[in-house]
Every structure is written in C-alpha cells, then in structure tokens.
Amino acid sequence: MYLLALHLGRVRGTLDSKIAHEIELELAELPAKVEQVLETVEPLRELTRKFKDSSSMLFLGRHVGFPTALEGALKLKELAYMHAEGFAGGELKHGPIALIDTGTPVIAIMPAVGTLLAEKMASNVQEVKARGAIIIAISDAPLASADHLIRIPSTHEFLQPILSVVPLQVIAYEMAIARGNDVDQPRNLAKSVTVE
C-alpha cells in the first residue's frame, strides 16, 4: 500500500520526490526495525501481567497514531475480552477524560519526537497522568511522564504505525493468555466478514 501511495503521489505530482525517496529508504529498513520491536516480547509479557485484572484500558493517539490506537483497542477486545477504547488525543477534553480513574491503564502512541504533535500528545499524557492514570507510552524516545516505556526505533512518521502496532498486538496476545483465554479460537469472531 505504501509503495502504491508513493507511486500515485509521484505520478499525480502531489508528493515531493525527496520525501518519497526518504520513505522508500525507511521502508527498506522496516523488517529489521520490526525485529527490534519483537525483541521486547518478554518485557511486554511482564507488563501485561500487571494489568490483567484491570477492567478496562484506554488508548490515545494523534494523526497516524489515532488509527493505531483504535486497532490496539480492537485487538484487546477481541482477544482478551477486556473493555478497551481508542481515542484521538485532541478529543480528550470532549468526554473521554471523564473515563480516567486512579490506576486506569492508558497506552499512549506517541508521535515522532521533535514534531508539534509530539508536544501536544505529551500534554495529553500529562493530563491523564494528573488524573491518576498509569501511562504506557509507545515512543521512539523517553517520555518523562510515562510509567512504562515501550521503545520503538525511529522511522518516518507515516511508517510509525507499522512499528507501533506490533507491541499492541503482543499486548493483546499476552493479555489474553494471562486472562486464560484461548488465543487460537477467540469467542464470537468469524474468520471472514459476511454480508447480511
């Protein structure tokens, strides 16, 4: 999909060739970077055990991190049968912040360091932390307000979801196992989508 988008951007003249080249170079490095993320499985397993008895978990993201947050919440619901919701960081004050209680685990998918969105997301994280949330940050750099950090390698911001979603999938898988669920046959899920 990325290669198709790059091609269309070039053909239509809507994508700067320098940016397209940078993304292509980063795409070539992604398999090795995903391997780096997968090396964090054991720490993720330990982290997951800490939250296996939580009644819910919230996911926050901005820009390309928002769909990643939605995917993380969906996977947790599907495998761990745990209430989970994904929210856009910019919408936090419009209702979702009311769901934060002391001890609520919040997974924050942080934008690439050094961007304006990273600063805004850091502010969102501080807001939920001030209300007692336990912050699990997925980031390419340290985050002072995080209680737990899942470090991912740096990449182009448009490719970051590929790296961010891997620990979310591992968390859902490990949470399901920790809660005693059969990860090979999740309940009430069909292998294909059917039309009614």
Question: CA separation (Å) from 135 to 6, 57, 96, 139, 156?
Answer: 35, 10, 15, 12, 24
pLDDT-derived band at 144 (thresholds 50, 70, 90) equals: confident
Q: What are the φ and ψ backbone dihedral angles of 131, each rounded to 5 degrees?
A: -95, 10
Name the domain count of the chain. Answer: 2
Per residue in 85-140, pLDDT tens? Answer: 999 998 988 888 888 989 999 999 999 888 889 999 999 999 999 999 999 999 99
What is the reported pLDDT for 195? 62
Residue 79 lies inside a defined structural domain of this protein: yes
Range in 126-135, 151-160, 184-193 with the lowest mean pLDDT? 184-193
CATH of the domain at 154: 3.40.50.10490
* 108 lies in the same domain as 84: yes
* 88 lies in the same domain as 163: yes
Q: Tell the residue number behind the tokens 């053909």, with chain if given.
A: 11
Q: Which domain holds residue 12?
A: 2-36
Q: Alpha helix locations (H) across the chain?
A: 2-12, 17-38, 41-50, 65-80, 116-130, 160-178
* 68 lies in the same domain as 21: no
Residue 194 lies inside a defined structural domain of this protein: no
pTM: 0.89
pLDDT-derived band at 11 (thresholds 50, 70, 90) equals: confident
Per residue in 36-80, pLDDT tens? Answer: 999 888 888 899 999 999 999 999 999 999 999 999 999 999 999
* 28 lies in the same domain as 50: no
* 14 lies in the same domain as 82: no
Extract the tokens encoding 90.
């910019």
What is the reported pLDDT for 143? 86
* 157 lies in the same domain as 95: yes
Q: What are the φ and ψ backbone dihedral angles of 138, each rounded to 5 degrees?
A: -105, 115
